[in-house]
Amino acid sequence: MCGIAGFVDRHPAPGRFDPLRGMINTIRHRGPDESGMWVDEVSGVALGHRRLSILELSAAGSQPMHSADGRHVMVFNGEIYNHLHLREQLQNAAPSWRGHSDTETLLACISTWGLEHTLKEAVGMFAIAVWDRHRRVLSLARDRTGEKPLYWGWQGDTLMFGSELKALKAHPACRAQIDRNVLALYLRHGYIAAPYSIYQGINKLPPGHYIEIPLANLQGAREAASHPYWSMNQAIQTGLAHPFEGSDAEAIDALERQLLQSVRGQMLADVPLGAFLSGGVDSSVIAALMQAQGRGTIRTFTMGFSDKRYNEAPFARAVAEHLGTTHTEVTVTPEDALAVVPSLPHIYDEPFADSSQIPTYMVSRLARQHVTVALSGDGGDELFGGYNTYKIAPRTWSRLSRLPVAARRTAGAVLSAPISSSLMATTLNSLHPFLPARLRQTATGAKADKFADLLRAGSREAFYRKMVSRWRVPEKAVPDSREPTTQLNNPESWPGEGLPFEQWLMAMDAQTYLPGDILTKVDRAAMANSLETRVPLLDHRVIELAWRLPLHMKIRDGKGKWLLRQVLFRHVPASLIERPKKGFSVPLAAWLRGPLHDWAESLLDEARLRREGYFNPIPIRKAWERHLNGKDDCSRRLWPVLMFQAWLETQ
């Protein structure tokens, strides 16, 4: 795991390459072991690298790295898990090897096969920048699911790229102008989806894409567009067209074999390695399959909370004891967790508002005291139907869609208006046949307001987008903004027609929430501690198998991840696992009314909001006041605003 950064400056001038050192120094945490730089004076290309040594600890693994024929120069962040197999394929074409790093393997593949073919053959997580000295083409590429970040863009006549925005900001040509439209998008989701970033002119390269920038043609370079070499939608369509037709037992065998292969490949390292363990299905199956490799006792790490409502440490401890791992656990107090909050804007580099970023950072800090690499169980919910949303949303939409659209819109308008509690109760009672019991009982205040918005949805897709929105109309909170298009509201980017709603939800989450929120959260939290994380469930071969599986092997008897559970139960008793899903959450609502109150109040001060000019204070102050007086839990809406405000202070 490393960090990369670089730029292209076509204007010869003294010191034009000087910013490179500052760029890579800003991401030293991603690679504290070594730094490297290389420049092409004629073409104006500068490549920089920070190294966290995982494979080939000697200088033979240093970057930037040159191909044997001298044509290509590359900087690379990530791991190629099948690089030994790729070396075998190159035996007749590749020169003698200088070391055993996956970087050298990848570079030899690019020189032999070309970039796109290499990307299709590689199994791993990565962000790559490679300069072709003959063609004068700079290529950037990102792994299939977006585990590793890669920002890029033009700032004036300078092209720049890097693993984190702070690296680009270190270049004097970076204007770092906040994009108000993207700010509105951020308020809706709590994260900034690719291809956008918070800054105008700077993009995230989408997962599974590469771009070739021809520097011999400046106009062509500016107009270069990214291309997919792998597509989640294509994997979905192919899987559905070629469904798994075996029995339950055969499906369990097939999934276990594929997961064992993935875990085995991701345990390749020349440094200490362990796993995060929450005691839930996903992390437990990864720990179990690691231990099953027979390579000695693995290390597992859990963070517990002193507040028992959020503490899963006892469950993780029980799983660790059953598996026989070397288990490390730390219990943190609210004061410990709150001490992390001031660091979040620097760690996450652009506004990011998943409050589980706090415990994720803390468990990464714990693991780094013992290992350099940690495997995680992320991706299981999106692939195997684990989120409660996959049960609630289809059931609720099925009921609501039986009500005529006009009637739903009328009821929504009534519930949105300032009405008495008795009229609200009457309106909700009239919708009795169409509402789940829990919703009828809790649809008050902000929940009733949100439900009113859900009633007005014209399609199941619009219904889901409203469900996951933190701010229903973020443009009202961000003046002079127009929310840009994302995959969630662009039907042209959806998977094939006719998908059951549950599968459509999983497909969307895997392409939006997973890379935009979950993988961003884990990458930044871990790399801030110089810890490499790996995600075996996101091996593309696991993904492709998962989409061949019928829905009833994922969600059965009202419970998600059925097939993944069956694999786990071959290694861990069901009694240690079966319990309500908690997630990696913190008591954010209580913190905002208690120990974080003064911090939040200063950031949400009305005069300050007006002076800075990014937010309309009225809806924000209204949400803050309702939260403080206990009428509603507005923490999910307020946290994105607070994280932006805290981030803005660091700019």
- The model's pLDDT over 29-56, given as tens digits with 9 standing for 90+, comes to 999 999 999 999 999 999 999 998 886 6
Q: What is the pLDDT of residues 246-291, one digit of tens each?
A: 999 999 999 999 999 999 999 988 888 999 999 999 999 999 999 9
Position 613 confidence tier, pLDDT thresholds 50, 70, 90: very high
Rounded distance, CA 558 to CA 502, Å? 12
Amino acid at 111: S
Q: What is the DSSP letter of 299?
A: E
The boundaries of every CATH 3.40.50.620 domain in the chain are 248-386+508-574
The answer to whether residues 623 and 476 touch, using CB atoms and an 8 Å cutoff, is no
SS3 track for 223-269: HCCCEECCCHHHHHHHHHHCCCCCCHHHHHHHHHHHHHHHHHHHCCC
Q: Answer whether 252's CB lies under 8 Å from 566's CB.
A: yes
> From CA 33, how far away is CA 308, in angstroms rounded?
39
The label of the residue with tokens 């390269």 reads 205
Q: What per-residue confidence (pLDDT) applies to 435? A: 57
**Is residue 582 very low, low, confident or very high in pLDDT (cuts 50, 70, 90)?**
low
What architecture (CATH level 2) is domain 248-386+508-574? 3-Layer(aba) Sandwich (3.40)
List every span in the chain annotated with CATH 3.60.20.10: 2-230
455-467 per-position pLDDT tens digit: 888 899 999 999 9
On the question of pLDDT at 98 being above 80, the answer is yes
Res 624 pLDDT > 70: yes
With contact defined as beta carbons under 8 Å apart, do 89 and 101 qualify?
A: no
CATH architecture entry for 2-230:
4-Layer Sandwich (3.60)
Considering only residues 454 and 551, tell me which one the structure prediction assigns the higher pLDDT: 551
* CA dist., res. 230 & res. 232, Å (int): 7
Q: Quote the mean pLDDT of the chain.
A: 91
Which among 200, 148, 232, 275 is positioned nearest to 487, based on CA atoms? 232
Quick one: which of 543, 522, 542 has its CA closest to 532? 522
Q: What is the DSSP letter of 403?
A: S
Helices (H), 332-404: 334-338, 344-348, 357-368, 380-384, 389-400
Beta pairing class for 124-132 and 137-142: antiparallel
Instruction: Note the helical H segments in 61-153.
Output: 83-89, 102-113, 115-121
Q: CA–CA separation, 380 vs 255, rounded Å?
A: 12
pLDDT for residue 446 is more than 60: no
Taking the C-alpha atoms of residue 34 and residue 59, their distance in angstroms, rounded to an integer, is: 10
**150 vs 152: CA distance, rounded Å:** 7
Is 284 in contact with 274 (CB distance < 8 Å)? Answer: no
Tell me what pLDDT residue 337 has.
86
Between CA 553 and CA 591 the distance in angstroms is 40
**What residues are annotated to the active site?**
2
- In one-letter notation, the amino acid at residue 289 is L
Asked if 218 and 508 touch (Cβ cutoff 8 Å), the reply is: no
